[in-house]
Amino acid sequence: MSQDLNHKTRRMEILRAEPSVRKLVGPDGATAWFGLGAMVLQFALAFLAVRLPWWGNLLLAAFAGAFVMHAINCVVHECTHNLIFRRPRDNKAFALLITLPSLLPSAVAFRHYHRLHHSSFGVRGMDSDVASRWEVRNVGRHPFRKLLWLLLLPISYAALHPLFVRRRLPIDSWLLANIGSIALVWAAMLWFAGWPAVAYLLVSTYLSVGPHPVGAHILQEHIAFDGGNGMASYYGPINLISVNLGYHLEHHDLPNVAGRRLPQLRRLAPQFYSDHYRHPSRTLGLWHFVTNPGIGLDSRPITDIDVPTQA
C-alpha cells in the first residue's frame, strides 16, 4: 500500500469520477435528536447508578455508559465540522449542551485540536493525535508498557498531547461558557444525586476514550496496523451509535459530508475504498495493539518540522 495519501487529491478525484457525491455535502440536523437522546439517557443512567452497589455502578458504566458517552462524543465530532447546523455558533452551542454528562469542559478544546488534526495531519507539534518523542521512546513495543499507556490514554489524549501543540487553545467566551456550564452540572449532580452518580459519569467518560471497545477508535483510525499509511476504516456495528465514525478514510476524504451519509459516499465511489485497510473489530484492535511487537505509537506517518508558534 502506498504511504502517500493526499486527501485533497483524492477529494478532487472522487468528485471528478462521481459528481453525484456533491449532493451528500452539508449538515444533517437529524443527528441533533440522536445527541439529545444520548444526553438525556446518560443523565438518567447516572440517577439509576445511585441505587446500585459500587460494582454495579462500574458494570453499568462499562456496558452502557461508555457506549452512550461515545455516542455523545461522536455527535460533538459532527458539531466540530459544522455538520449538524449551518451556522458554526449553533454547532458550538449544541456541543456545549450535549457534553454536559461528561463532566469535563472538553467541547471547545476538541473543536480546536480536531480541526488542527485535519489541517495538519501527522505533523508533530500541530496534530494532537501524534505522540510525543519521549512518549514513543518510553512506551516502545513492550506489551506491558503499551497496556499501561492504553490505561492512561484518556489523560494523555485529553490533557498531555495538547500541551505539545504550538497553536494554543484561545481563552474566549466559548471556553469560559464550557467551563462554567460543566461547573454548574458538577454542583447539580452532587446536590441532587451525590457521588455515585458523579462516579458513574466520570468512569463512563474515561472508558469512552480509553481501554474499551468504543475507545479503540483512537488507535485504529491512524496507527498503521497494516504497516500502511495510517488511515483505516471500520465498518462494524459500533457505527450504529457513532454516527459512522468508523468510516474514517471516507471522513478525511470529504470532511464536509455528515456522518450518516458516509456509507452512501462509499457506495457511490467504491473504487476509492475497496483496496484500503479496514479493521474487522474494535475489541481485537485493542488486543493487537498491545500484543503485536510490530506496532508502536510511531506506527503512523509523522512529519517532524519546525512549525512557527502562532503569534
CA distance 5 to 16: 17
- Please determine, for residue 305, whether its predicted confidence score (pLDDT) is greater than 80: no
Higher-pLDDT residue of 221, 28: 28
The answer to whether 295 and 288 have CB atoms below 8 angstroms apart is yes
Greatest CA separation for the chain: 58
- Please determine, for residue 309, whether its predicted confidence score (pLDDT) is greater than 70: no
CA distance 178 to 173: 8
pLDDT tens by residue, 124-183: 889 888 888 889 999 999 999 999 999 999 888 888 888 888 899 999 999 999 999 999
Predicted TM-score of the model (pTM):
0.93
Average confidence (pLDDT) over 35-57:
97
- Please determine, for residue 224, whether its predicted confidence score (pLDDT) is greater than 70: yes
Q: What percent of the chain has pLDDT over 90?
A: 77
pLDDT at 307 (0 to 100): 47
CA distance 272 to 270: 5
Residue 202's pLDDT band (cuts 50, 70, 90): very high
CA dist list (Å): 245 to 56, 89, 130, 196: 29, 23, 19, 31
